[in-house]
A = this chain, B = another copy of it.
Amino acid sequence: MARSALSRDEVLDTAAALVREHGPDALTMRRLAAELGTAVTSIYWHVGNRESLLDALVARTVADLGTIRPRGATPAERIVSVARALRRALRERPHLVAMVHERGLTERMFLPAQRALVHEAHAAGLRGARAAALVHAVQFQVVGHVLVERNRERAPAQPPAETDLWVTEPTGLPAPDPELARALAAPVDTEAVFLVAVRALVAGLLR
């Protein structure tokens, strides 16, 4: 075969391409080796093992998430805009979330939004621990929401679900609030839930 100069970077590039095009499950050491035209075992020399290969890919992908620029007139609006931008950035990279899912969450994933959030918390008049609390609460909120969204998408069939559980009360009597019953029976609009939650969270934190 005699191919030349396999490098760590080449391994990472090819692995990244594999993940991008076929998802993280397609990233097997053997398939990667085939793609690279080397022996499986050569990869181990360059990246250690599959775990740290995924680590490196996650680090890489997070690194290119880029900076988030707040938009809006009021502090609350600007913080909400950061949350939305972070969610969008994460959702645009489903393989990143999938890799994180396999690998565990990196602190780094929170970073793109952190500087912006710190700045806006300060601008909103929060200081010290209270400002830090806002930063963490928003970060957890966004990342948590994205994880839930992703997990529901890969969920199995959802037969009984909330759907029929609330159209009628278990008593058989009509629900006391039919509009609420209808709203809970309908499929969840996760984007709307996100917006409501983030706005309420930020409003609550800035009180």
Contact = CB atoms under 8 A, between A and B. Distances in A.
Interface of A: 51, 55, 100-101, 103-108, 110-111, 114, 118, 121-122, 127-129, 131-133, 135-137, 140-141, 143-145, 147-148, 151-156, 158, 161-163, 165-166, 176-177, 179-180, 183-184, 188, 190, 192-194, 196-197, 199-205, 207
A110 B188 CA distance: 12
Given A128-B180, A176-B122, A156 B103 contact: yes
Nearest to A178: B128
A169 to B, nearest CB: 10
Contact of A143 (B131, B148, B194): B148
A144 B194 CA distance: 11
A127 B177 contact: yes
A179 B127 contact: yes
A118 B158 contact: no
Given A162-B111, A180-B118, A145 B155 contact: no
Contacts of A204: 199-205, 207
Nearest to A100: B151
B193 A137 contact: yes
A140 B146 CA distance: 10
B132 A183 contact: yes
Given A128-B183, A140-B193, 15 more contacts: A51-B156, A101-B151, A104-B151, A107-B152, A107-B155, A107-B163, A135-B184, A137-B197, A140-B144, A144-B145, A147-B148, A147-B151, A197-B201, A200-B200, A203-B204
